[in-house]
Structure 1
Amino acid sequence: MKKLSLFILMTILSFSAIGQVIEITPSYGFQFGAKLGYGPNYLKMEDSSQFGITLGVETYTGLMAEVTYVNMSSGLRIRDVIFSPSESKLADLNLDWFLVGATRYFKQGKVKPFAGAGVGFVVVSPSNENNTIIDNSLDSTTRFAFNFKTGVNIMITDVIGLNLQGNLYFPVNWAGVYVGSGGAGISTGSTVILGGFSAGLVFRIDKD
């Protein structure tokens, strides 16, 4: 965690050194869940809220280099003909996303539509496991991830604006999990898409 914090700090300082315009965008939104099927059974991540913050630095006119942190607090549910014939909660699920990317503005002025993308990793941390289904803890995992976004910034003043955007997150093999005991169980995982939307404020700082 110390190395991760140092990496984020160094990224922020590097971005700050190469650009004259800085944008800070805290946001809050809604994230749709996803389902992974295996045979007639499935694992399902529930819909959830999400919050995040993005630091962007203008490298060229209309092009922002960015570092983003997003948190999602959700739940993991299971339906399995052996372990849980009816859908039941398996565990709470926390996802921490760390992404580095870029955003392109298509228009300058008060209304600024944009699109962007990023790459990085997601830390998936289960907790509060349902002991009636499993008798062991699920391990936290770190997975490669990437994202896409599109939306608009509506500037109220030269410094403060409203951010509205749609989000797509791609965690690679996000739900790899082993369920069972006594040497028997199921294991599944794949790449899924998590879609949602968010809103927030954008603070634009010109260092000149």
Structure 2
Amino acid sequence: MRYKQQFGASFLSISALMHSAIAAAEVFVAPFGGYGFGTNDFSTIDRNTQEESSVKIAESGHWGIMAGVTTPDPGSIYLLYSHQSTEFSIGDNLNQSEVTALDTDYLHLGGALYFPQGKFRPYVTTSVGLTQMRPSGSFSNETHFSMGVGGGAEYQLIPSFSLFADLRGYATFIGSSPSLFCNSGNCKWLVDAEFMWQGQVNLGAKLTF
């Protein structure tokens, strides 16, 4: 009987803690914009001619949005979407290379841990998800698993509204596929790369409710 009472008391305590955590959680939406940079070049080999070349993705601006809930750590769990309209070129000589428009999207599930200092709230963050690259023309879309890590700071103007800035790095795993950006169903290039690296600098606003 005593064990049943202890179990019942423990269950009620855990339930109360879970209820408190859920009640304390807040929902937030955070649009942002910034600049994507540092994408590495891909070494390529033409399957027909065996000619070596490279694929280069240009730096450009991007925009995105995060939506999530706060946690009592203090921290947050969020879903992030980021979109970048850029271009890639095929060939080492930019004057003689083929240039194609390229849309790059990140869809990630992530978490952040804050270190509050009054209204100033530095944080670190990690995320996992997918990267999709969509070239124009007859090239195929590419979707690969990716991971992200970053750090930044948030400043609360009022409890429900804050501004933030952060720096994020993304690693997209492309080593599982030996070809990239196929043309009309025929993969012309073999790619010698394991990862695609890209950095982002972001500025945004966060609305909590």
TM-score in terms of structure 1 length: 0.75
Give the structure 1 partner of residue 43 of structure 2.
Answer: 37
Per-residue deviation, 1:61:
3.1
Give the structure 2 partner of residue 92 of structure 1.
Answer: 101
CA RMSD of superposed structures (Å): 2.7
Segments of 4+ moved more than 3 angstroms? 84-87, 178-181
1: CA distance between counterparts of 2:102 and 2:114?
Answer: 34
2: CA distance between counterparts of 1:91 and 1:42?
Answer: 14
Q: Name the SS for the 1:156 alignment partner.
A: strand
Instruction: Choose the corresponding residue for 1:61, options 66, 73, 78.
Output: 73
Contact kept, 8 Å, 1:69 with 1:98, in 2: the verdict is: yes
Contact kept, 8 Å, 2:113 with 2:124, in 1: the verdict is: yes
Larger relative strand fraction? 1
Give the structure 2 partner of residue 186 of structure 1.
Answer: 189
Give the structure 2 partner of residue 78 of structure 1.
Answer: 90
Contact kept, 8 Å, 2:84 with 2:103, in 1: the verdict is: yes
Give the structure 1 partner of residue 49 of structure 2.
Answer: none
In structure 2, the CA distance between the partners of 1:68 and 1:180, relative to structure 1 (3 Å rule), is closer
Give the structure 1 partner of residue 128 of structure 2.
Answer: 119
1: CA distance between counterparts of 2:205 and 2:41?
Answer: 32
1: CA distance between counterparts of 2:94 and 2:67?
Answer: 45
Give the structure 1 partner of residue 63 of structure 2.
Answer: 51
Contact kept, 8 Å, 2:114 with 2:123, in 1: the verdict is: yes
Identity percentage of aligned residues: 20
Give the structure 2 partner of residue 21 of structure 1.
Answer: 26
Instruction: Mark the structure with the bigger radius of gyration.
Output: 2
Contact kept, 8 Å, 1:179 with 1:187, in 2: the verdict is: no
Q: How many residues in Structure 1 have an aligned counterpart in Structure 2? A: 177
Per-residue deviation, 1:103:
0.3
Offset from partner CA, 1:63-121 (integer Å, 9 cap, x none): 211111111111011116xxx78552431111121111100001253100001011111
TM-score in terms of structure 2 length: 0.75
1: CA distance between counterparts of 2:23 and 2:131?
Answer: 27
In structure 2, the CA distance between the partners of 1:87 and 1:111, relative to structure 1 (3 Å rule), is farther
List gaps (5 residues or longer) in structure 1: 1-16, 130-136
Contact kept, 8 Å, 2:58 with 2:86, in 1: the verdict is: yes
Q: Name the SS for the 2:91 alignment partner.
A: strand
Q: Name the SS for the 2:195 alignment partner.
A: coil
Offset from partner CA, 1:2-33 (integer Å, 9 cap, x none): xxxxxxxxxxxxxxx78622221100000013
